[in-house]
Structure 1
Amino acid sequence: MNASPASPVAGQKGKFTDRLPPLTMLGPLIALLLACIFFTLQTPRFLSVQNLSLILQQSMVVGVIAIGQTLIVLTAGIDLSCGMVMALGSVVMSKVAVANGLNPYLAIVLGVGVCTLFGLINGVLVTHVRLPAFIVTLGTLNIAFAITQIYSNAESISNLPTPLTFFGNTFGIGAGTVTYGTVMMLILYLLTWFVLRETAPGRHVYALGNNAEAVRLMGLPTQRILITVYTLAGLSYGIAALLAVARTGVGDPQAGQTENLDSITAVVLGGTSLFGGRGTMMGTLLGVVIVGVFRNGLTLIGVSSVYQVLVTGILVILAVSADKISRRA
């Protein structure tokens, strides 16, 4: 008996589902929508143009850190040191420019270079010494924290030269304002998205996260790929350090306390698997916005910052649990 032709309804359904975003993006989109509805019902200030602009400004530092975190998580690693490395970079570029009178552009290069060096050290320890990424980055977290406190004498550095604060300047779009740092963040996301999606090195990162042994048997330099990933992550932390200095106007040795948790939360909320090989930069950007919305919304309704950290921790557990269940399925 001949099979009956597909009904028009079924055909329309197939076309409709084809237009839907992938499942890893659909979940975060729904979460973002529900969060926006909740906070809008709690306070009318949430959906104002000024507040939405503020969310982007507040998210740009974590957003750039999350770029490096995504690269590492795609290889089935993790970086706990990102926030402290960023804080060290911000203190270095601030102090050498103010206290030592170094050219501000050279100071920026030096601060970014310090962060990049930490990324390189993490990569070498993970690949050549074969230590777990968790242990390596936990160690470098404490090292970066100690160096930051010692070098800065636990004091903020102010009176920064203009080049260090440029990305904190704003320009108007309609009724809102956008910082140049936010524009920088979006450009970095587009660039990283293109490299991961359209180039051979980007595909090698995904392959390494899926099956490192298969990549090695294919003749690809797995150690070199991993070292490059960790070094680029360090570079992204250095850029985030510049954005942090520009946004606050000081080199703050107390910065970076929650950025590691926030960046990991953004990555897993955006659909990147902690087990490696699956995820997108656009998903991470969506996760960054979700974290920013929760932080901003909870502040608007008067929730203490301690409870904001609590909510962030819960979001991490829920996102990782959902990832684990989906992999089992």
Structure 2
Amino acid sequence: MFLTPLTPTFEAALRDVRAAGSQYRAASARALGAAEAADEEQARAALEGLVVLSGDADARVRIEALRGLALRRDAGALGHVTGHLGDPAPAVRATALLAAEALGCEDALLVARVGEADPPLQIAALEALVARAEKGEAGGPAASDTGVASRPALVAAATAALADPSEEVRATAVAALAAMGARASLDALAARLDDSPRVRASAALALADLGDARGVPALVEALGRGSFEAAEALGNLGVEAAREPLANSAARLFTPLLTKAAAGAALIRLGDPRGEDALRAVLRAFRPDGRPYAVVQVMQLRLSSLRPELESLVKRPRGVDRDLLRDALAALGSGSAA
């Protein structure tokens, strides 16, 4: 059994670099990656220890060591990290690429891996592209085309991956384009609505994230299967065509409570009072699933008609934080939030 020991001290972590048990070597890697070095000598010792551990016979130790190298943010380790992109273990290859991104590798390294016939590495590369865009290293905010305009190769690589033979890679590419705010790829995303059910659903969500309603039919299908994400996306789009599907989902007995709450909130945004009934049902339900989410929606939508349900929950929270309940009651205005 691979048990996680307690975090060792810095000195113990250095000693455990060559411990007999792999669980101790893994703990050593985690500690050396997270440790705040007192001086340059300690920093160098931590880096050297992680380099040793990254060559460990156990893939789990190698993964922890590569993560540790990424945490230390020493660009001098980049060459060593990229040397693990050919590791026999898929998870190690993926971790090495994510670590390389964290250490500031060239865009070309990430772009090249998106196109390799190696799904774990491709998926990591797509995640790395998003990480770079979210950091603002791709030229600006990730929520608009300006975020990647200065590095079109990033979007081009993710767009090309939409045609990859691997369903998982295609689904990840769809999500990556949405996360990068790649509105220039809207048509390419819409073309994935004819893909497998998984990719179709991902494409519909991505389009909704970018404010495009072409995926509404696929979102309605997913809503029929109880998808919380689809209910939220339909609510954010605010399209009239979603009104009755949302109402049906909100009223259905076996709709997951979290989805029911999202459908209720979406109906409210469409000006449909049936949404209040759905949120009330979630707030009063025996099970706590979705109740905190419903409270947040009541607060954001200023649904004063649901104040009695919130006041009842203050006395018996049933899975909701009391501070959240007080904040929600305060947001509704008049009445006691005690």
TM-score interval (norm. to shorter): under 0.3
TM-score (norm 1): 0.18
Query: Which fold has the larger relative contact order, with Cα–Cα distance below 8 Å and residues 6 or more apart in sequence?
Result: 1
TM-score by length of 2: 0.18
Q: Which has the larger radius of gyration?
A: 2
